Structure 1
Amino acid sequence: MATTDALTPERILEATEEVLRRHGPAKATVVDVARALGVSHGSVYRHFRTKTALREAVTQRWLDRTSTSLSGVVAGSEPPETRLRRWLAELFAAKRRKVGDDPELFATYMVLVGESSAVVNRHRADLVGQLARIIHEGLERGDFAPADASPEALARAVFDATGRFHDPAYAREWGDPGIDAEFAALVDLVLRGLRAP
């Protein structure tokens, strides 16, 4: 039996993820999470005041894994064009891994993401912000051509244009033959559009 002294939000989120993997979102309850931790459900509620708050936190944690891994690309020292290409490739790879490595958990998170629009909106804003930092540096260095749009607007356009390769709505297509060539062709087109003449 775990003690509530050792109970942390991170331990609760880890247990919640495992309960979701086993039972799915429709059947996973706070009581199940508490049971997995060996504590009362009241102990879980001391850290997460509602079931919704717990589900949003576990969804945020899942999405943050992608954001965190991509932030290293943004901070890199490669030229902006190289970083932008790498960032898009790593985003696509991360999304594919989430589908392929644990399809049951991916399906569960798609339900949770549908319930957590504010969490998803923050995640998208973070990703677009990362793209904007790369594009801003490319504009400052003269690698990308100045445009009438701000780096943020350009980043949103790039994010939207590449949606087929990171939006979970397209997950069924990510294993199709030729998808990698289609991804590379789109990234080449995007970069040609940004590149200074």
Structure 2
Amino acid sequence: MPPTSETLTAERILETTEEVLRRHGPAKATVVDVARALGVSHGSVYRHFRTKAALREAVTKRWLDRTSEALAGIVAEDRDPEARLRDWLRGLFDAKRRKAGDDPELFATYMVLTGESNEAVPEHIDDLTAQLTRIIEAGVAAGTFASDDPQSTARAVFHATGRFHDPCYAPEWAQPEAEADFAALVELVVLGLRA
């Protein structure tokens, strides 16, 4: 095992784990493979992630967090809540579609990992619905949206738009009618929320 001069960090381990998963797939990728790619002992990896499951959970969370972080900027903007809602839904659809289309092998790997996830997926959904809640609350405060319970409304919007962000629908996202279907659904959601 060649010595490494770079400091071993959790982030470096996660980056390398993603590459190992891309190369070997989730069924064959091991902590030893990750350690070998880093040029360290597998014990060094275990000092950062106590189990293989913890490492897989962390890499899944990191992958999901990229989407949440990209959308957070839209939530924080100080502009019309309706436009922010439209942009947020578009951003979510585009981010998920890119993940599925740009690297199908890694996407398939993450589909396996998210199926194993105990915490990362529910946390991701909670984060996304919290972002939606903030947009809807801003809309209610501005008199743009009507909702007695923005949190419940956000969950309803999230579930209603699931066809355009739930990975189980990924094969449909490349269909010619997907874009028109998405636009029609966003219109329906916005009309339903208007005060």
Residue aligned with 1:117, SS: coil
In structure 2, how many angstroms separate the alpha carbons of the residues matched to 1:74 and 1:103? 29
Ranges in structure 2 where 5+ consecutive residues have no aligned partner: none
Which residue does 1:64 correspond to in 2?
Answer: 65
Structure 1 residue 4: Cα displacement: 7.8
CA contact (8 A) 1:4 1:39 kept: no
TM-score of the pair, normalised by structure 1: 0.96
* Alignment-derived partner of residue 136 in structure 1: 137
The answer to whether the Cα contact below 8 Å between 1:84 and 1:131 also exists between their aligned partners in 2 is: yes
Paired residues in the alignment total 194
Tell me what 1:91 maps to.
92
What's 2:189 paired with? 190
Aligned AA (1:152) = Q
2:152 is matched by which residue type in structure 1? A
User: How far is the alpha carbon of 1:2 from its aligned partner?
Assistant: 4.2
The aligned counterpart of 1:124 is 125
Structure 1 residue 117, shift from structure 2 partner: 3.3
State the alpha-carbon separation in 2 of the partners of residues 163 and 90 from structure 1: 14
Moved more, 5-14 or 15-24: 5-14
Identity %: 71
Q: Equivalent residue for 1:9?
A: 10
Q: Which residue of 2 aligns with 1:112?
A: 113
CA distance in structure 2 between the aligned counterparts of 1:103 and 1:193, rounded to whole angstroms: 35
SS in 1 for 2:169: helix
1:155 corresponding residue in structure 2? 154
Give runs of ≥4 in structure 1 deviating > 2 Å: 1-5
| 1:24 matched residue in structure 2 | 25
Q: Secondary structure at the residue paired with 2:145? A: coil
Give the direction of change, closer, same or farther, for the CA distance of 1:2–1:163 in structure 2 (3 Å limit): farther
Q: Any residues of structure 2 matched to 1:36-51 within 5 Å, and which? A: 36-51=37-52
Deviation at 1:5, TM superposition (A): 6.8
CA deviations over 1:41-97 (Å, ceiling 9, x no partner) = 000000000000000000000000000000000001220000000000000000000
TM-score w.r.t. the length of structure 2 is 0.97
Q: Distance in 2 between matches of 1:144 and 1:15?
A: 45
Matched-pair contact (CA < 8 Å) for 1:165–1:183 = yes
